[in-house]
Structures are given as C-alpha cells and as structure tokens.
C-alpha cells in the first residue's frame, strides 16, 4: 500500500512515462540544435571529489552541496565526507578543460545536459535534483561566439514552438561604467547590481528603496535609473555612448561597441528578430565579465535561461586565463511553460503503443508474436496482450491505454490468411490480408505519427 516510505526523497521527483517522454523531447531538440552548431556532448560524473567543489560557489553554495560520507568505519566514526554531488556543470567543465587540455581542441564547444543536486529548501518549481542544459565555448574571445550562442538558443526555442520570446542583451562593463559615471563608488557596484537585478520583480521604486537600504547615494541611484529605463527610447544607445565619451569612460564605450557588434553579427541569424539591448539586465552571478544574455517570455516571471561571457572562471584549475562564454537553458521552466501552453506535439503523448495485437488462444500466440515482430521491424510500437483473454476485454484494454489500433487474428481469419484491424477512434474494423498488414498499418497516419 502506498505510504511515506515509497515516496521519492524530499525535493526529488520520479518521472513516470509521460513525464520522461516530454523531457526527452525537449532535451532531444536542444541537443539536435546544439549539434548543428557543432557543439560536442560532454558528460561528467555525478560524484566529484569534495575539494573539486568546495569554495567554488560561495559560502551559501558550500552549504547546499550534498556531501557523501567516507566509506567504511572511518566515515561512520568521523562523519568525514570525501565526495560530493555535482552542483553545477561549470566547475566540472573547468576541471575537464584543465585535465584534457592536450587532447581538447583549442576552441572547445561543448553542450552538457545532466542533473545537478542542491540541498535547497524545496518549494514550488524548485527541486533538489534538476537538469541543467549548458552550452559553452571556451578558448575564444571573438564576439562571433556570443552571436552563435544567441542564434542557437533562438533555434532551440523556435523548434520547441516559442515565437514570442525576447533575448535581452547587456554588458557587465556597461553596467560598471554606468554606475561609475553616475557616481556610485566601485566598492558599491556589486551590491548595487544585486538590487538592480530585481527590477522586473520589485519594480523601479522597489529597487530605488533597496539601493538606498544598501547605502547607495540617492542622487547617484536616480542618475543610474534614468539610463536603465531609457531602453525604450530609440536613440538611447547613442546618447549613452556620448555620455561615456564626454566622461572619458573608455570601458563604457567599449561595452557599447561590443553590444553593437553582437547585434550586427546576428543580422543574418535566427536571433535577429529576438535580440534586444536591455540596459537594466544585470544577471545575479558575479562571475560575468562581458556580454550577458537572458531569455524572457511574457507569461513567466523570471527567465527561460541566461548566460554570458565569464573570462575568469574556466581557468580556475589550470591557473591560466581561459576566455569563455556560455548559455544555460532552464529545462524545468521550459517544461512548465510548454505544459501550460499545451505546446507538446501529439507524438509526445501518454500513449505507449500504436497497435495492440490480441491473443486469441494459447496456440495462436505464436502467430500474434510473429505479427508483432513484423510491425515492430517496420518501426511501429506494438503491444502484445500478455495472455489469451476475452477479445472484448483486450479491446477495452486498448481503449483504456489509448492505443489507436487493434489487430485480431482469430482462427477463422487465420484460415483465410487474413487478420482483422479495428480502428478504435471510429470503431470500424476491416479484414486485411496477413501479408499486407505491415503496409496497411504503416500507411495510416496515426501509426506513423505516433511512431516515436
């Protein structure tokens, strides 16, 4: 009887067949698009040496790492942990980049879709085991990388059926330059960005209040805000550029030049219609050094994914500066929005089979299995009713399971070299010569559509 001890662990999920099909469909599209961009797949172990992970995610992150007890008496006695569960896909990428430097290409384009584990307090939409879908280019400073990432993400979302997203684009140096230009001292930039990052959640007044609470001068904050909310005016970027030029703020000008170049490079790509420079985009993580991106859709607070350039991070193990730029799609959020909008194709259904082959009697089971073999070799998904039973009961089973077609090979039909095919939607049935069965069922659109 179902009871607490058969539930998955707290914050973890079982994925029943329909869940898995939906997840595999989305992951399949993501992987297929990334492969077309010549990204290569990488997989790293779920378990890392604990010293590989600790100290990489800040104090809060360290607390959220699942730690694995040392084996044997020693672990039990001391509570010492020597291993830990993967917390993200970026630190393993950095480790791999250092370990296999001699064999990996100079510019390594990899995608990685694997679960990560965080001992966060579970809440709606936040789990302790969840998938990250990361795509990164390491080893190149070219802005073509940023353009290609935006294009790939656009292709993924278009293929999944999203047509209404925006890719917000900004630059960490532009934000820094803005803050400096407005009179916010450098040691307050970090805390100011954390507040600015909340603009879409708490609004202008909320952010201004939080900036004040964080000790930022009110007038400086107002000046910053005039620029952050200028994005709707068509010539704001020119005016901002002038502001940087007159202030001698070379970093700011360089950032604008990079953003303009990314937009120019994207002209002929799938990203062209979705890209928008958005000065208020800040991104929470501290490690970004250049362009930053985030994908937004209207009916979701928060983003479907985000990324940016982070030239300081991947070299953490090698001790070398390794330029890097990446994007992470939020698989769980994409699934939520696609479910709410009913965006899954009919082929990604809860139906496990295209055809049910019935069993007339024990003797005839050999022929049922042979029919199933032929249909399966033709690519159809075929269920065989496991034991001889009343045909009515077997047809009811097909109905319950949503199987659209039932094949009955009774003694009379067998004698005539025929089988009966029943269409469950229309209720009609017809006789088909046994030797033409594969072609008859293959030609039917439901059968071929459902063939997963």
**Contacts (CB under 8 A) with its own copies, residues 263-322:** 264-270, 317-319
State yes or no: residue 200 binds its own copies (CB under 8 A). no
State yes or no: residue 136 binds its own copies (CB under 8 A). no
Residues touching its own copies: how many (CB under 8 A)?
113
Cα angle vertex 213, ends 119, 302, to 5°? 45
Considering only residues 215 through 274, tell me which ones interact with its own copies, judged by CB under 8 A.
264-270
Indicate the residue among 46 and 254 with the shorter CB distance to its own copies: 46
How far apart, in whole angstroms, are the C-alpha atoms of residue 306 and residue 284? 10
Indicate the residue among 204 and 393 with the shorter CB distance to its own copies: 393
State yes or no: residue 182 binds its own copies (CB under 8 A). no
CB of 349 to its own copies, least distance (A): 11
Selected range binding its own copies among 2-10, 183-191, 274-282, 435-443, rule: CB under 8 A:
2-10
Residues 93-122, one symbol each (x = binds its own copies by CB under 8 A, - = not), give: --xx-xxxxxxxx-x-xx----x-x-x---
Indicate the residue among 208 and 293 with the shorter CB distance to its own copies: 293
Q: How far is the CA of 367 from the CAs of 12, 358, 408, 433, in angstroms?
A: 44, 10, 11, 14
- String of DSSP letters for 366-433: HHHHHHHHHHHHTT--EEE-SS---HHHHHHHHHHTT--EEEE--HHHHHHTEEEEEETTT--EEEEE
CB of 441 to its own copies, least distance (A): 13
- Which residues does residue 136 pair with via DSSP β-bridges, in sequence order? 110, 326
User: Could you give the 3-state DSSP secondary structure of residue 139?
Assistant: coil
Indicate the residue among 105 and 445 with the shorter CB distance to its own copies: 105
State yes or no: residue 1 binds its own copies (CB under 8 A). yes
State yes or no: residue 337 binds its own copies (CB under 8 A). no
CB of 262 to its own copies, least distance (A): 11
User: Could you give the 3-state DSSP secondary structure of residue 113?
Assistant: strand
CB burial class (10 A; 0-12, 13-18, 19+) of residue 445? exposed
State yes or no: residue 81 binds its own copies (CB under 8 A). yes
Contact between 293 and 168 (Cβ < 8 Å): yes
How far apart, in whole angstroms, are the C-alpha atoms of residue 303 and residue 298? 10
Considering only residues 364 through 393, tell me which ones interact with its own copies, judged by CB under 8 A.
365-367, 369-370, 372-373, 376-377, 379-384, 386-387
Runs of H (alpha helix) within 100-229: 144-160, 172-182, 189-196, 199-213, 218-228
State yes or no: residue 123 binds its own copies (CB under 8 A). no
CB burial class (10 A; 0-12, 13-18, 19+) of residue 143? buried
Indicate the residue among 180 and 394 with the shorter CB distance to its own copies: 394
State yes or no: residue 131 binds its own copies (CB under 8 A). no
Considering only residues 59 through 78, tell me which ones interact with its own copies, judged by CB under 8 A.
63, 66-69, 71-72, 75-78
| Binding residue (CB under 8 A) for its own copies from 61, 88, 140, 391 | 140
How far apart, in whole angstroms, are the C-alpha atoms of residue 423 and residue 441? 10
CB of 374 to its own copies, least distance (A): 9
Considering only residues 20 through 59, tell me which ones interact with its own copies, judged by CB under 8 A.
20-21, 23-24, 33, 35-49, 51-52
CB of 359 to its own copies, least distance (A): 7
Considering only residues 160 through 179, tell me which ones interact with its own copies, judged by CB under 8 A.
none
State yes or no: residue 353 binds its own copies (CB under 8 A). yes
How far apart, in whole angstroms, are the C-alpha atoms of residue 89 and residue 422? 50
In terms of Cα–Cα distance, which of 35, 28, 113, 131 is closest to 347?
A: 28
Runs of H (alpha helix) within 267-351: 331-340
Selected range binding its own copies among 135-143, 246-254, 278-286, 338-346, rule: CB under 8 A:
135-143
């Amino acid at each position: 009887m179902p009871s607490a001890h058969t539930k998955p662990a707290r914050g973890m999920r079982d994925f029943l067949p329909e869940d898995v099909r939906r997840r595999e469909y989305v992951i399949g599209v993501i992987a297929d698009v990334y492969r077309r961009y010549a990204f290569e797949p990488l997989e790293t172990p779920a378990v890392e040496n604990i010293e590989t992970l600790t100290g990489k995610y800040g104090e809060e992150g360290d607390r959220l790492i699942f730690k694995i007890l040392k084996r044997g008496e020693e672990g039990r006695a001391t509570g010492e942990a020597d291993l830990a569960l993967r917390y993200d896909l970026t630190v393993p990428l950095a480790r791999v980049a250092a370990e296999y430097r001699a064999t990996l290409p100079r510019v390594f384009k990899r995608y990685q879709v694997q679960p990560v584990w965080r001992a966060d307090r579970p809440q709606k939409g936040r789990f302790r085991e969840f998938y990250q879908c990361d795509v990164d280019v390491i080893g190149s400073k070219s802005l073509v990388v940023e353009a290609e990432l935006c294009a790939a993400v656009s292709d993924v979302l278009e293929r999944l059926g999203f047509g209404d997203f925006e890719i917000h684009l900004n630059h960490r140096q532009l934000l820094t330059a803005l803050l400096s230009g407005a009179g916010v001292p450098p040691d307050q930039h970090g805390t100011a960005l954390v507040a600015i990052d909340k603009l879409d959640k708490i609004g202008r007044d909320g952010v201004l209040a939080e900036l004040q609470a964080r000790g930022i001068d009110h007038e400086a904050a107002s000046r910053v805000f005039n620029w952050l909310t200028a994005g709707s005016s068509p010539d704001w970027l020119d005016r901002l550029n002038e502001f940087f030029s007159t202030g001698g703020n070379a970093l700011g000008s360089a950032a604008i030049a990079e953003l303009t170049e990314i937009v120019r490079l994207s002209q002929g790509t799938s990203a062209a219609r979705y890209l928008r420079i958005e000065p208020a985009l800040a991104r929470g993580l501290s490690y970004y050094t250049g362009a930053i991106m985030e994908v937004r859709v209207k009916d979701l607070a928060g983003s479907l994914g985000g990324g940016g350039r982070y030239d300081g991070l991947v070299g953490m193990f090698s001790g070398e500066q390794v330029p890097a730029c990446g994007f992470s799609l939020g698989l769980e959020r994409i699934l939520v929005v696609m479910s709410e909008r009913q965006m899954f194709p009919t082929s990604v259904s809860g139906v496990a089979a295209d055809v049910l082959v019935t069993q007339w009697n024990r003797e005839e089971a050999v022929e049922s299995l042979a029919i199933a073999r032929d249909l399966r070799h033709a690519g159809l998904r075929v269920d065989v009713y496991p034991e001889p039973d009343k045909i009515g009961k077997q047809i009811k089973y097909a109905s319950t399971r949503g199987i659209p077609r039932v094949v009955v090979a009774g003694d009379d039909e067998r004698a005539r070299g025929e089988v009966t095919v029943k269409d469950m939607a229309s209720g009609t049935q017809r006789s088909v010569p046994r030797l033409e069965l594969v072609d008859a069922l293959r030609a039917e659109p439901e059968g071929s559509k459902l063939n997963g």
